[in-house]
Amino acid sequence: MNNSNQIYKPISKRTKASKSLKGFTLVELMISLAIGLILFSGVMSIFVGMRTTTAETSSYGELQENGRFAISVLTDDLLNQNLWGDYPGTFGIANLTKIPAAPGNDCVGGGVNNATFPLAVGHFRTLWGQTLTAAQPNPLGCFPTRSKISVGSDVIQIKRVIANPLTVLSAGNYYLTTNTVTGGIFPFGGATPVLDNARTWKYQHHVYYVRDETVGNNVVPVLMQGRLANFRMGFAPVVDGIEVIRFMYGIGPESTGVVSRFVSASTMDEVLWDNAVGTRILAVKIYVLARSIFPDNKYQNTNTYQLGNLALPVNDNFRRLLFSSTVTLYNASVDSW
C-alpha cells in the first residue's frame, strides 16, 4: 500500500498541472489578429501620410529656392542695366573712342543697333526683349543648336558693365575704360584707351531665356544665361525647373520718372527700346513660373497662372509656384547720376 500511494501522488500532480495549461481559443486568436491589423494599418497610414507630407514639403521647398534664385539673378542684372562706369548719359558710338569687332556668336536683337557693341547706326539698345514663338525660336541668332525653347516665355538681353572697377584684368573678357566725358571698349590683350582720370570696368552682355531639356521620359525646363566669355557669347544653364519667364515694361515720361503703364514685349513700341524720346522704360515687372522637376501622379494641377498679360492654364501632375518682382531702372530714367 505504501508503494502504491507513493506512485499515485506524483501522477495526481502531473494530471493537475496538465489541466492548468490552457491555450488561446479560436475566437480569442481572431480577436487578437483583428486588433493587430487595426494597429498595423493605423501605423502604416501615419507613415504613408508623413512620407507624402515630407515629399510635398520638399517639392515646394525646391520650388521656392529655384524661383527666388531666378528672381534674384534677373533683378540684379536689371538694376545694373545701362550702367557704364563713370560715364553718364546715353551710351553709343558717338561717346566712344574705341570699339572692338563683334565677339564670336554675337547675339543681335531687334532694331538696327542691338548687337553686343554699339554700331554707327541708330540708337544703341541696352535693353530689349521678345516673346518666343514656334515661328521664331532663335530671335537673336545665338542660341545653342537645336535649342528647345519654351514657347510663350520671353527672351531678354541686358548690356552693362560689372559694378566694380578693376585694376587686374583677366583673359577672354572685354573691358570699358571711362571717365565722365568719354570711354573706350577693348578686349583683354588689346591697347587700353588712354583717358584722363579714367577707370576700367568689365563689359558684359547677358541674354536669358527658357529651354526645355529631355531627361528620360520627362521634359525639364531650364533657365539659360548667355554671357561674354572667351571673346564670344556662350550659354549655360542657371537653374532647373523654371518653366516661364515673362517681363512687363513700365513706360513713363522721363521728366517725372513715374510709370504710367506696363506693356509686354510683344506690344512694346519699337521707338521705346531706344530710350531716345521723352518717354522711356522706367521699370520692369519680372514674372517667374517655377515648376517641379518630376511629376507627382497623386497630385493634379488645374490652376491658371497670371504672368502679366499672359494667362497660363495647366492640367498636369506638376507642382508650380509663381514669383514676381518689380525693378526700377534707375540708370534709364536719367542721363546722369
Q: How confident is the model at residue 330 (pLDDT cuts 50, 70, 90)?
A: confident
- Give the per-residue pLDDT at 216: 80
Q: Determine the average pLDDT of the residues in 188-217.
A: 93
Q: How confident is the model at residue 240 (pLDDT cuts 50, 70, 90)?
A: very high
- Amino acid letter, 225: Q
Three-state secondary structure call for residue 111: coil
The per-residue pLDDT for range 304-324, each reduced to its tens digit, is: 999 999 999 999 999 999 999
Three-state secondary structure call for residue 222: strand
Q: How far is CA 325 from the centre of its chain?
A: 13
Better pLDDT: 47 or 257: 257
- Give the per-residue pLDDT at 34: 81
DSSP string, 236-262: EEEEE-EEEEEEEEEEEETTTT---EE
| Residues 6 or more apart whose Cβ sits within 8 Å of residue 142 | 105, 106, 107, 108, 207, 226, 233, 235
Residue 193: DSSP 8-state: P
- Give the per-residue pLDDT at 337: 37
**∠ at Cα 140 (148, 269), nearest 5°?**
115
CA separation for the pair 108, 115 (Å, rounded): 4
Tell me the backbone φ, ψ of residue 282, rounded to 5 degrees: -105, -20
- Give the lowest-confidence range in 79-88, 169-178, 305-314: 79-88
- Give the per-residue pLDDT at 15: 52
DSSP string, 71-86: HHHHHHHHHTTT--TT
Please state, as a whole number, how many other Cβ atoms lie within 10 Å of the Cβ of residue 49.
10
Q: Determine the average pLDDT of the residues in 24-37.
A: 78
- Give the per-residue pLDDT at 181: 92
Better pLDDT: 185 or 215: 185
Give yes or no for residue 8 having a pLDDT over 80.
no
Q: Determine the average pLDDT of the residues in 167-190.
A: 95
DSSP bridge pairs for 221: 212
Whether the predicted model's global pTM rises above the 0.85 cut: no
Instruction: Report which of 247, 322, 309 is spatially closest to residue 283, judged by C-alpha positions.
Output: 247
Give yes or no for residue 336 having a pLDDT over 90.
no
Mean pLDDT, the chain, as a whole number? 88
Q: Determine the average pLDDT of the residues in 1-5.
A: 51
- Give the per-residue pLDDT at 36: 79
Better pLDDT: 322 or 21: 322
- Give the per-residue pLDDT at 50: 65
Contact status, residue 332 vs residue 81, Cβ threshold 8 Å: yes
Q: Specify the length of the chain in residues.
A: 337
Q: How confident is the model at residue 335 (pLDDT cuts 50, 70, 90)?
A: very low
- Give the per-residue pLDDT at 44: 73
- Give the per-residue pLDDT at 89: 77
CA separation for the pair 208, 149 (Å, rounded): 11
The cell for 188 is: 583683354
